[in-house]
Amino acid sequence: MIHPQSRRRRALLAVAGGVAAAALTLAGCSSSPTETETPDEPVELRMTVWTADETQLGLFQDIADAYVAANPDLVSDVTFESIPFEDYTTTLTTQLAGGNAPDMGWILESYAPEFVQSGALVDLAPTLEETDGYAYDDLLESSLALWQQDDGLFAYPFSNSPFAMFVNTDQLSAAGQDDPAGLVASGDWTFDAARDMSAAAAEESGKQGLVVRDFEYQAWENLATVWNGWGAAPWSDDGTQCTLADQDMVDAMTWIHNATFDDDAMPQPGTTADFFAGDAAMTITQISRASSLDDSFEWDLVPMPAGPAGQQNVIGQAGIGVFANAEHPTIAADFLAHFTNPENAEKLATYFPPPRESLLNSETLASANPNLSEDQLQAVVVDGIQDAVTKPTHANFAKLQDTVRSELDAMWSADADVESVLDDTCDAIAPLLEG
């Protein structure tokens, strides 16, 4: 729904006050002039994203083109700039610091506290609340928590995607292994079962077993999908104390190490395996990856296994923010209200589970995800969002991420002393947590 011109201009004026008040500190950002009215001529908007999926980008462009057609006095074009995931946050902060800020950008949950607390983002709440038909009250309060400060909302959590296990049932069957869906039903779906089944399938196929997608011995935070089954965490809830050396984390990392170097259930460093190309028996990832599947093998999607601490749902969350030092922040906020309204949120649900309560049901999600059944979506997405935890976040995450990654390098060899490596990692990050 495109709201009337008078309501749109009131929304633009409301956001302008938030932009003027923002104190920009992230990556040396400096404030740009505040817009207080519609421009003399239509402007171009730019949003940074980390997807290069042509189907997803096509959907984004269709939504944007509808906005441009309905608002020719405001916007002449909206472009979506794809930045590789591994370089995304570094590239984005460089743009922000260098005077080349995009109007909008995706933000990974791990960096939410840094971006929100820095003052780099516009408070979106006034615009979203003022937009006709937006249904702001439909947004799940729990999904907004990472992106809120005081009474403001500094990014819209467009993706709330639980991690789950995709399984290649052809490879498992060829190795004489049980059907994971049956183990889920019987309550026997555990990390140990997944490890043993993956190892057997890898031995039979000559391919790989269980892949934690996007980990690649670099993005250690993705291992949260595993260690949460042990009740482990890298630091305390308040972010001030390292807990990497606690026994539950030692046990979880020992399990990962043994699965890799002793059991041949997980790829070793230097080995890449794409489940969706048929290179592995299982992968831990999010449902948006289902679009990569074809008919080359039989597969299933099941919830995360249980660990010693039980089954724990983990979600990856991403927000869209408007940058306060961009050229057109008020107009960008108005576009974002269109991009994420109920109608367009339902379209985006094809790839990104929305934060809207009205859309979080298996029927709606199934219509947007034809590759997945209602039963799969109910078990993995609708149920998976309940009581879920996010991957690690911290106000100093950028420095913590690099330091932990460097320290954990010592763990990825067959003869590593896991407990000693984790002790050393805690020693290394203690000053960053205190700061």
144 and 276 within one domain = no
Question: Does one domain contain both 96 and 132?
Answer: yes
Average pLDDT over residues 110-137: 95
List, in sequence order, the alpha helices (H) in 277-396: 329-339, 342-348, 362-368, 374-377, 383-385
Give the mean model confidence (pLDDT) for residues 128-147: 94
Are 151 and 187 within one domain? no
% of the chain residues with pLDDT over 70? 91
Which range of residues forms the domain containing residue 245? 163-314+394-434
Whether 153 and 84 map to the same domain: the answer is: yes
Are 39 and 327 a contacting pair, CB within 8 Å?
A: no
Last residue of a domain, one of 346, 367, 385: 385
Number of domains in the chain: 2
CA distance 245 to 227: 13
What is the mean predicted confidence (pLDDT) over 247-270?
98
Residues 320 and 339 sit within 8 Å (Cβ to Cβ):
yes
Q: What is the pLDDT of residues 295-351, one digit of tens each?
A: 899 999 999 999 999 999 888 899 999 999 999 999 999 999 999 999 999 999 888
Sort residue 6 into left (φ over 0), alpha (ψ -120 to 50) or beta: alpha
Spatial separation of the C-alpha atoms in residues 19 and 244, rounded to whole Å: 39
- Whether the model clears a pTM of 0.85, i.e. scores above it, the answer is no
Domain with residue 247: its CATH number is 3.40.190.10
pLDDT for 14-23, tens place per residue? Answer: 333 333 333 3
Sign of the torsion formed by the C-alpha atoms of 255, 261, 266 and 270: positive
For residue range 156-168, what is the model confidence (pLDDT) as tens digits? 999 988 899 999 9
Radius of gyration of the chain (CA): 22
Question: pLDDT value at position 383?
Answer: 82
Same domain for 155 and 71, yes or no, is yes
Residues 116 and 45 in one domain: yes
Q: d(Cα 253, Cα 232) in Å, to the nearest integer?
A: 10
Q: Are 229 and 252 in contact (CB under 8 A)?
A: yes
Name the residue among 179, 177, 176, 171 with its Cα closest to residue 206.
171
Considering the domain architecture, whether residues 156 and 197 belong to the same structural domain is answered as no
350, 272: one domain: no
Sorting pLDDT into bands at 50, 70 and 90, what band is 34? very low
- pLDDT for 15 equals 35
**Is 352 in the same domain as 404?**
no
For residues 408 and 264, membership in a common domain is answered with: yes
Same domain (yes/no): 169, 50:
no
Structure tokens at 357: 């309560």
Are 36 and 21 in the same domain?
yes
Cβ partners under 8 Å of residue 220, min gap 6? 401, 404, 405, 408
Residue that is last in its domain, among 364, 385, 406: 385
Token pair 């790829």: residue: 267
CA distance 299 to 281: 9
Report how far residue 373's alpha carbon sits from residue 378's, in angstroms, rounded to the nearest whole number.
9
Q: Is the pLDDT of residue 4 over 60?
A: no
Q: What is the mean pLDDT of residues 263-280?
A: 96
Q: How many CB atoms lie within 10 A of CB 412?
A: 16
Average pLDDT, the chain: 89
Whether residue 37 is predicted with pLDDT greater than 70 in this model: the reply is no
